[in-house]
Amino acid sequence: MALLARRDRFSGELRHKLLERGFEPAAAAAALEALAAERLLDDARCLERFVAYRAERGQGPQRIALDLRAQGVAPELIGPALEAGPDWRALAREVRRRRFGAAAPASWAEKARQARFLQYRGFSSDDIRAAIGAELELD
């Protein structure tokens, strides 16, 4: 209960913490089942909050998905959670505007700099192009 007191945790994360503290695997599994039955442990709720929190911090879907995989969340749960998240293209525009201002980048060097920033934040290339207004020009 102390591990759930501060924040929601994923069942895989909680299982890992319990095993790390020396609990037997069977006891940890029983505890997780009891917590899930009482709805104190809910991966879907935790996933929804995690995506919303990270999106508010300006992180994109690719970075959020990477962090979720690192925490042991099932891959089949990650996709639907990200699709139910915010409008990623609008979020990329907002993150770019907050960091670099409302003016569109004037040079290709500045566009590349802003694109690298958004890529680090975890946005897709389509979202980045829409955010910085960089249309591909083929000669």
What is the distance between the terminal CA atoms of the chain, rounded to a whole angstrom? 62
3-state secondary structure of 76: helix
> Tens of pLDDT along 104-128?
888 999 999 999 999 999 999 999 9
- 60, 127 in Cβ contact below 8 A? yes
CATH number at residue 104: 1.10.10.10
DSSP 122: T
Higher pLDDT, 118 or 41: 118
- What is the total count of domains within the chain? 3
50, 32: one domain: no
Q: Is the pLDDT of residue 137 over 50?
A: no
What average pLDDT is seen over the chain? 86
Which residues have CB under 8 Å from 62's CB, separation 6+?
122, 123, 124
Higher pLDDT, 50 or 41: 50
List the domain range (segments joined by +) for residue 52: 43-86
Average pLDDT over every residue of 121-138:
80
28, 50: one domain: no
pTM of full prediction above 0.85: no
Which residues have CB under 8 Å from 83's CB, separation 6+?
none
76, 99: one domain: no
CA 71 from chain center: how many Å? 11
